[in-house]
Structure 1
Amino acid sequence: MAYYRRLGTVPPKRHTQHRDPAGNLYFEELMGEEGFSSDSSLLYHRGVPSAITASAVWELPDQVRMPNHPLKPRHLKLHELATGTDPVLDRRVVLGNNDVRISYVVTAGSDDAARDPSPLYRNAIGDECVYVESGAGTVETVFGVLAYRAGDYVVIPRATTHRWVPSTASRLYAIEANSHIAPPRRYLSRFGQLLEHAPYSERDLRGPEAVHVVEDGREGAEVLVKHRAQGQVVGTRLTYATHPFDVVGWDGCLYPYTFNIEDYMPITGKVHQPPPVHQVFEGHNFVVCNFLPRKVDYHPLAIPVPYYHSNVDSDEVMFYVGGDYEARKGSGIGLGSISWHPGGHAHGPQPSAIEASLGAEAFEESAVMVDTFAPLELGEGGLACEDPAYAWTWALDGADSRRGTIEP
């Protein structure tokens, strides 16, 4: 995120001495992307950030994925998926490929006896973009504390040590990349500023407001690290000699932030606009889009719901989070649903929704979409909450004009 911030105490010049009031030298850490050829930040620690005293295996939840074969569209009911309550340990993988993984968890709240902060956690594979379907709380990080609320995307750069502290029960939809996640390049100047035609601006991005130092940090701490080994997602427990939350100051363009979908300004047109106008973030081989309450097409003969489309290069994953999604009436899709439409399959509205949408002036609907440019596979969480009847709903809608047979 190429938008400079500075918190806490830092020296006037980079890579020069910075001491505490007693004269002890702080330890400088450069955290940077792409071999220090892209965004970076400088952090100043009380302790040595590389001082570990133990390393052990962290057994991750089931990461196995099943190919979508034979090919068909699928409907996953996330609100029927049972999870544990830890925001990190109890995520269940719903969909994934070698570029991105989508998981889901429902946390406990502050009134729940089982509620505790998550373990200290670091994803060393890629950035995380966690959509907060409901709930509130904070994310404590080495850069400071982020408050989160319903509708927030919480964007956490790769290898940022953090922990989740829910204050109310929270439904978290975690998009874990094997790359970095950033605003779409077409919305950015060559220097990284969000341009005038972008549907949001830097004013809408909320980073930490102050550093967050754990005063008993000399006692050390365990950090759970997700990383890769032989092409597989694996985990390690690293024990540090001092607590990672010992950063007294930092500055730079790399840090976690939140962005709420209420601050996104939908782009509309005279006829139906294609999904790229709804894009909010991009990663390597995938994009994230918002579909939000908005005025719809104003051509007198416009058909407001989307046309049938074959996105030949992509799998499309739509997570329905609010309102009443006009195009899917009669399909079984509801709040908390995921529709997964794979490349190689033409999809679109239920047939009866087309006529029903004529004359509509606005849609009150909210959804988060992930489009991937490599085929997705079904995780164990997705398999556990699938609606097996969904694939045949287009043929069953308006069955009086149908010929042939439908697979049960």
Structure 2
Amino acid sequence: MAGLKYLSGFGNEFSSEDPRCPGSLPEGQNNPQVCPYGLYAEQLSGSAFTCPRPTNKRSWLYRILPSVRHKPYTAMHCGNLTEKWDEVEPDPNQLRWMPFTIPKSSEKKVDFVTGLHTLCGAGDTKSRNGIGIHMFTCNTSMVDRCFNNSDGDFLIVPQQGEVLITTEFGKMMVEPNEICVIQQGMRFSVDVFGETRGYVLEVYGAHFELPDLGPIGANGLANPRDFLTPVAWYEDREVATGYTVINKYQGKLFSSQQSFSPFNVVAWHGNYTPYKYNLENFMVINCVAFDHADPSIFTVLTAKSTRPGVAMADFVIFPPRWGVADHTFRPPYYHRNCMSEFMGLIKGHYEAKEEGFQPGGGSLHSMMTPHGPDRDCFEKSSTAPLKPERVAEGTMAFMFESSFSMAVTKWGLETCQRLDKSYYQCWEPLRKHFDPNWRPSKQ
């Protein structure tokens, strides 16, 4: 399929032109008086003009018609997409959701936008400081409609069904066990091929970037060259019935009409682009002596806050790996945390809770709410021989971790009817092992 080629690298300066129009990129300047092929030059800025060069993000798009040619925006129904964090009372309990229901196409046609449901979040789009966690469940492609998020970046994690994402920069096919990031302001449309489900992490006020490696050194975790950016692809298509551009702005949805496809970019160059990444390319760093290393060693992408060393949001994965630690309880330790932890499962069984936590579902452990392995996991791991073993084979769990104290929406607590109210019971069987007469054995 045309356009399904990629440029490699993370955060680099790229250039691309549709091979149908060779020489469509201007030479020597960004905004010539007359662009090749009679195109319009348009800059998309993802940072302030005066940002330091390493953090300055922008791309130049050379398009058949500029994006400014559209009818006025009007408010539209938001469905279950929201940032009303106070619509229900706070709930500090451990929360777990069963797999979210995908509507049947025979009953109701639902595309990516109408299938977005906000589960939890915090902060404010107006002040540009916050996050939202959404589920998407859909069964039909977007036809003559595209989506544009003026509030922040979308990190999209497909769990069931592949998605073909058409952007102003080109096309990306994204499958389960891959992720993609559509950065603030980029227009995109989603095609699906049946019942489709996945997770979305939205950040306001920051962009995702690779974490610093510190003592790890130059290599490890997610390597920049494994991130892929689409090559230019355009369609010169008039839409007599009107093309709908949906804009998420200050937490609300607005729509406008135009008479042409927005995917009319013939060439582009810059460092502000959509991108995708295959989670199988993650180079795991792990413990090879004793103790259980903190999950931060599994960070793929981070969105930094204004406080040094504290993330607005981290995207962390738990991929297949070897467990070799000696004298160690190998699963995640019992824990209370100053961060909020939302976990999802793409495939397989999560090693700390092999029952109940299912692909397409999720869990939320809020700030300072204790959590950890269930009884079965604890008993099994406390007596298991500590030989080298594969951990999480055939599994991919992930975590959206945030320094925000996240509120759960009414949809998440009530409307979706997927909340597992018995979740707390997985820890009820934990029994006391304390023996005051225990003494260390003499060697």
Q: Considering the TM-score relative to the shorter chain, is it more than 0.5?
A: yes
Residue 405 of structure 1 is matched in structure 2 by none
User: 1:324, 1:219 → 2: CA distance?
Assistant: 47
Residue 5 of structure 1 is matched in structure 2 by 14
Residue 222 of structure 1 is matched in structure 2 by 244
The 5 A counterparts of 1:172-251 are 172-187=198-213, 196-216=218-238, 221-228=243-250, 233-240=251-258, 242-251=260-269
Q: Using a 3 Å threshold, how does the CA distance of structure 1 residues 162 and 299 change in structure 2: closer, same or farther?
A: closer
Residue 40 of structure 2 is matched in structure 1 by 27
Q: CA deviation at 1:196?
A: 2.7
The alignment partner of 2:100 has SS state of helix
Q: Of the candidates 274, 286, 292, which is equivalent to residue 313 of structure 2?
A: 286
Residue 336 of structure 2 is matched in structure 1 by 310
User: 1:187, 1:14 → 2: CA distance?
Assistant: 35
CA contact (8 A) 2:232 2:268 kept: no
CA contact (8 A) 1:222 1:240 kept: yes
Q: Deviations over 1:38-72 (max 9, x none)?
A: 11110112213212223211221132445563521
Q: Using a 3 Å threshold, how does the CA distance of structure 1 residues 369 and 169 change in structure 2: closer, same or farther?
A: same
Residue 351 of structure 2 is matched in structure 1 by 326
Q: Deviations over 1:110-141 (max 9, x none)?
A: xxxx5554721100000100101121131111
CA contact (8 A) 2:146 2:187 kept: yes
Residue 362 of structure 1 is matched in structure 2 by 390
User: 2:241, 2:16 → 1: CA distance?
Assistant: 25
The 5 A counterparts of 1:106-121 are 106-108=137-139, 115-117=141-143, 119-121=145-147
User: 2:313, 2:237 → 1: CA distance?
Assistant: 40
CA contact (8 A) 1:67 1:376 kept: no
Query: Are residue 73 (structure 1) and residue 94 (structure 2) matched?
Result: yes
Q: Of the candidates 375, 378, 396, which is equivalent to residue 351 of structure 1?
A: 375
Q: Of the candidates 419, 423, 431, which is equivalent to residue 390 of structure 1?
A: 423
Residue 72 of structure 2 is matched in structure 1 by 54
The alignment partner of 1:133 has SS state of strand
Residue 17 of structure 1 is matched in structure 2 by 33
The alignment partner of 1:328 has SS state of coil
User: 1:69, 1:60 → 2: CA distance?
Assistant: 23
Q: CA deviation at 1:74?
A: 0.7
State which drifts further: 114-123 or 275-284.
114-123
Q: CA deviation at 1:386?
A: 0.6
Q: Using a 3 Å threshold, how does the CA distance of structure 1 residues 125 and 392 change in structure 2: closer, same or farther?
A: same
User: 1:195, 1:20 → 2: CA distance?
Assistant: 44
Q: Of the candidates 282, 289, 295, which is equivalent to residue 322 of structure 2?
A: 295
CA contact (8 A) 2:159 2:359 kept: no
Q: Which amino acid aligns with 2:218?
A: E
Q: Identity rate of aligned residues, in percent?
A: 20
Q: CA deviation at 1:294?
A: 0.8
Q: Deviations over 1:92-119 (max 9, x none)?
A: 11122121111112222xxxxx555472
Q: CA deviation at 1:17?
A: 3.4
| Structure 1 spans left out of the alignment, 5+ residues | 109-113, 189-193, 402-408
User: 1:337, 1:245 → 2: CA distance?
Assistant: 34
TM-score, length-scaled by structure 2? 0.79
The alignment partner of 2:230 has SS state of coil
The alignment covers a number of residue pairs equal to 381
Q: Deviations over 1:319-343 (max 9, x none)?
A: 122222221245x223333121111
User: 2:431, 2:202 → 1: CA distance?
Assistant: 39
Residue 404 of structure 1 is matched in structure 2 by none
TM-score, length-scaled by structure 1? 0.85
The alignment partner of 1:53 has SS state of coil
Residue 151 of structure 1 is matched in structure 2 by 177
Residue 102 of structure 1 is matched in structure 2 by 133
Q: Using a 3 Å threshold, how does the CA distance of structure 1 residues 195 and 123 change in structure 2: closer, same or farther?
A: farther
Q: Which amino acid aligns with 2:401?
A: D
Q: CA deviation at 1:91?
A: 1.1
Q: Deviations over 1:293-327 (max 9, x none)?
A: 1111x23212210111111x211111122222221
